[in-house]
């Protein structure tokens, strides 16, 4: 039997796989260096949860007399880990010199840390909203420990703050970490107000240019999506506002699909399995029903 040409096959394919195709060269980032580490960003999110909810996600003893000590340890570690990941992201997205990249990464990390008290405040409003909207929960601690909306919103509010600071790449990675874990897909570019509740959550999609007001509750399978895309001269979608605006005190029930740059007026209720592509005024009730609707309700 002829000798199996292992070396020849490996060497030939090493050469082929090492060569960059025109398509690959178009996809390579402008800078050089390592990509942001998913593991490093997972560690950052674990630290943020332990900082924001110190009585729940820190393995050390729950002792309020010393909690400032372990919050301080976690905050210092977060600065170290996150600044390294931001540095990696910046090296791929601009032409700064290495020392400039380091300084900018440190500056952005400190700016983000300045945002943490507000992120914490917003997250506790989300916990309260979930508690107030679900009779199945007995206490706030159960929401924090068990409900997927908490992980989704920790990641979303972190990613949104980083995006606002101009940090590249990392906000999308952080959002996708929560998406993979919970089935809730929130683009970091979406604007979401206080007291936001997602019940169950699986299959929820919130697009990049969505605007959501205060005291909004949505259920599983809800999509806030784009109806269509505007294309540039090269046929590439243009990033313009294309997702819904949901005003204050709106409830959207399971599997409703709301598409396009339309407005759902405050105090409205959107029923389950509704397909909505036109704006509705404040106080609307958009329902599916085979029975006559009371005055003021819309039948779909």
Which residues, in sequence order, are bridge partners of residue 275? 257
Per-residue pLDDT of the chain (300 residues; tens, 9 = 90+): 466 788 899 999 999 998 888 887 777 665 556 789 999 999 999 999 999 998 888 766 666 778 888 899 999 999 999 999 999 999 876 667 778 888 999 999 999 999 999 999 999 999 999 999 999 999 999 999 999 999 999 999 999 999 999 999 999 999 999 999 999 999 999 999 999 999 999 999 999 999 999 999 999 999 999 998 787 877 788 889 999 999 999 999 999 999 999 999 999 999 999 999 999 999 999 998 655 455 556 655
* Cα-based distances in Å from 28 to 20, 36, 203, 244, 289: 10, 14, 32, 33, 52
Q: Are 45 and 177 in contact (CB under 8 A)?
A: yes
| Per-residue confidence (pLDDT) for residue 186, from 0 to 100 | 98
Q: Are 257 and 263 in contact (CB under 8 A)?
A: no
Q: Give the up-direction half-sphere exposure of residue 131: CA atoms within 13 A in the CB hemisphere.
A: 14
Going by C-alpha positions, the residue among 47, 55, 49 that lies closest to residue 74 is 47
Q: Kindly report, residue by residue over 77-129, the tens digit of the pLDDT.
A: 999 999 999 999 998 766 677 788 889 999 999 999 999 999 999 999 999 99
Place of tokens 């570690």: 77
> How many other C-beta atoms lie within 10 A of the C-beta of residue 151?
18
pTM: 0.88
User: Rounded to the nearest 10 degrees, what angle do helices 67-93 and 38-52 cross at?
Assistant: 150
> How many other C-beta atoms lie within 10 A of the C-beta of residue 136?
6
- The alpha-helical segments, DSSP class H, found in 165-251 are 170-182
Q: Are strands 251-252 and 223-225 parallel, antiparallel or unpaired?
A: unpaired
Token pair belonging to 50:
């332990």
Q: Are strands 269-270 and 297-299 parallel, antiparallel or unpaired?
A: unpaired
């Amino acid at each position: 039997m002829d000798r199996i040409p292992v070396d020849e096959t490996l060497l030939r394919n090493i050469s082929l796989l090492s060569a960059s195709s025109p398509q690959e060269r178009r996809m390579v980032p402008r800078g050089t260096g390592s990509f942001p580490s998913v593991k490093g960003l997972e560690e950052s999110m674990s630290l943020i949860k332990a900082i924001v909810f110190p009585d729940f996600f820190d393995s050390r003893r729950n002792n309020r007399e010393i909690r400032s000590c372990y919050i301080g340890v976690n905050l210092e570690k977060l600065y170290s880990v996150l600044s390294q990941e931001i540095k990696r992201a910046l090296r791929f997205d601009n032409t700064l010199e290495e020392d400039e990249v380091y300084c900018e990464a440190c500056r952005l990390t400190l700016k983000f840390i300045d945002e943490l008290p507000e992120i914490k405040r917003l997250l506790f409003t989300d916990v309260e909203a979930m508690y107030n909207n679900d009779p199945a929960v007995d206490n706030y601690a159960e929401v924090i420990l068990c409900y997927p909306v908490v992980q989704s919103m920790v990641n979303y509010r972190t990613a949104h703050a980083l995006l606002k600071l101009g940090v590249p790449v990392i906000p999308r990675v952080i959002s996708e970490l929560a998406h993979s874990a919970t089935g809730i897909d929130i683009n970091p570019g979406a604007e979401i107000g206080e007291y936001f509740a997602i019940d169950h959550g699986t299959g929820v999609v919130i697009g990049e240019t969505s605007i959501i007001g205060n005291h909004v509750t949505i259920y599983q399978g809800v999509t806030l999506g784009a109806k269509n895309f505007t294309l540039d001269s090269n046929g590439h979608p243009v990033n313009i506002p294309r997702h819904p605006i949901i005003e204050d005190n709106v409830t959207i029930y399971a599997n409703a699909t709301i598409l396009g740059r339309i407005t759902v007026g405050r105090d409205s209720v959107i029923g389950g399995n509704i397909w909505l592509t036109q704006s509705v005024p404040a106080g609307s009730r958009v329902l599916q029903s085979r029975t006559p609707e009371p005055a003021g309700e819309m039948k779909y």
